[in-house]
Amino acid sequence: MKGKFTLLLCACTISLFSLEAQTKKAPAKKTSVKKAAPAPRPSTLRTTKAIDKSVRIKITTDSGIIIVKLYDSTPIHRDNFVKLVKEGFYDSLMFHRVIPQFMIQGGDPTSKYAEPAALLGNGGDNMERLTAEIKPQYFHKRGVLAAARDGNPEKKSSACQFYLVEGKIRSDEELNMIELQGGFKYTPEQREIYKKIGGTPHLDMKYTVFGEVIEGLDIISKISRVPTGRGDRPIGDIRMKMEILK
């Protein structure tokens, strides 16, 4: 916002006063001219950047570090995720399902002590589902954090299982088809992101997106490409540990 500066000009008048004597004319007195005080300098305008105070989570994996920020406008999922991280819930759990150009999924509590080749993905069923917070501004671009869910009609989320999107580049034709099937419209900006960095648009408006990666996108790709066995489970266990960044 531009400040409005007003320059005040001070006019000084020189007055001559004449006094008449009956026989003599006294010399005119000169009034001293006072210099105008300099106008105060305008203060420098400083623009203050809005500080992003979003909660940030550090996910340390066997393949590297990923840092995500959680969205404040999905508070149910944000607060639940923070609670679990503080409790150490995710420590030593696996990324139990990974698919290249799609996503990596983790958070199944039964994965902590799972036997090799055991099928995973059903853990956490005894935990209360989270009310969906599906918002059109949050879409499945590469790097987003979203909540897994089963086929419940209310689209409620698993209280613990999540996935990180890798995805792939999409075309306008693909996005047109998804819009037609889903009954919604992408913004021009969302289309550009899908066409330039990619994602998984067929999941839009079906799952709650509640955060995004701000460091370590390459780690998602690295994990998604490890050798897998039955149920897309990595043959070599990929475990995680989480902490909240101050």
Q: How far apart are CA 209 and CA 207, in angstroms?
A: 6
Answer yes or no: are the C-beta atoms of 64 and 219 closer than 8 Å: yes
Q: Rounded to a whole number, what is the distance in angstroms from the first to the last CA of the chain?
A: 32
pLDDT of residue 50: 66
Q: Which domains does the chain have, with CATH numbers?
A: 56-245 (2.40.100.10)
> What are the tokens at 6?
């007003």
Q: How far apart are CA 246 and CA 243, in angstroms?
A: 9
Radius of gyration of the chain (CA): 33
Average of per-residue pLDDT values in the chain: 86
pLDDT of residue 13: 34
**Closest to 206 measured CA to CA, from 167, 178, 177:** 178
pLDDT for 54-78, tens place per residue? 999 999 999 999 999 999 999 999 9
Q: Tokens 């409005």 — which residue?
A: 4
Q: How far apart are CA 59 and CA 190, in angstroms?
A: 27
At 170, the amino acid letter reads R
pLDDT for 83-108, tens place per residue? 999 999 999 999 999 999 999 999 99
pLDDT of residue 15: 36
Residue 159 — very low, low, confident or very high, per pLDDT cuts 50/70/90? very high
pLDDT for 123-152, tens place per residue? 999 999 999 999 999 999 999 999 999 999
**Closest to 37 measured CA to CA, from 3, 12, 5:** 12
